[in-house]
Amino acid sequence: MKLESGWRDYWRKMRGTTHGNPPRVSTEEIFWSWLGAFLGIGAVGGIGQMFFAGSDLQLLIGSFGASAVLIYGAVRSPLAQPRNLIGGHVLSALVGVICWQLLQDLPWLAPAVAVATAIALMHATRTLHPPGGATALIAVIGSPDIHQLGFWYVLMPATLGPLIMLAVALLINNIPRSRRYPESWY
């Protein structure tokens, strides 16, 4: 009887605790989120094209799109704060590169170890930033150009890109009275 109750409780957890849709966001909030994301991603792409045109090096990686959602669209989230943005990408990139170098002959294992270890390390260092998991994954499953970067991947794009996005977030997110960024630096 106790086992049956345990299973029922287990499945009951999946119902969720809140009902209804998330609250609406004001038109002003939508505008500032759009503008920040446009300028942030545009700055990273533009700087990358300006300084690295003709080379295989790119400053834009897919995980920056998810970072943009956080730092321009959810500015008060603990996951969007500068420590998390920079630390999450840098640590995860480092983990991803190491996993690729050590486990590239096990293509099913390297991505799993990279993402899981990145999450654990971000938790341990209080730098949890969900896009960091994608940064670790990109280091492992990315193109040969990404793999060729080796530890340079940690610096460019995984450090320089978020620093550019942070500069834009500091400028844009503090223009309207309704926003303040960051909530915390540490």
Residue showing tokens 């990404």: 146
Instruction: Give the pTM.
Output: 0.92
CA dist 8 and 168 (Å) reads 48
CA dist 49 and 42 (Å) reads 10
Structural domain count, the chain: 1
H helical segments located in the chain:
2-12, 27-52, 63-73, 82-103, 109-124, 131-141, 144-149, 152-155, 160-172
- 10 in a structural domain: no
- 22 in a structural domain: no
- 14 in a structural domain: no
Calculate the average pLDDT of the chain: 94
- 89 in a structural domain: yes
CA dist 118 and 96 (Å) reads 8
CA dist 171 and 166 (Å) reads 9
50: number of Cβ within 10 Å: 9
- 181 in a structural domain: no
- 184 in a structural domain: no
Give the tens place of pLDDT for each residue, 5-63.
778 888 888 888 877 888 899 999 999 999 999 999 999 999 999 988 877 677 999 99
Instruction: Name the residue type at position 81.
Output: Q
Give the tens place of pLDDT for each residue, 76-101.
999 999 999 999 999 999 999 999 99
- Give the structural domain span for 129: 27-172
- 82 in a structural domain: yes
Give the tens place of pLDDT for each residue, 134-184.
999 999 999 999 999 999 999 999 999 999 999 999 999 999 999 999 999
- 1 in a structural domain: no
Q: What pLDDT shows up at residue 17? A: 80
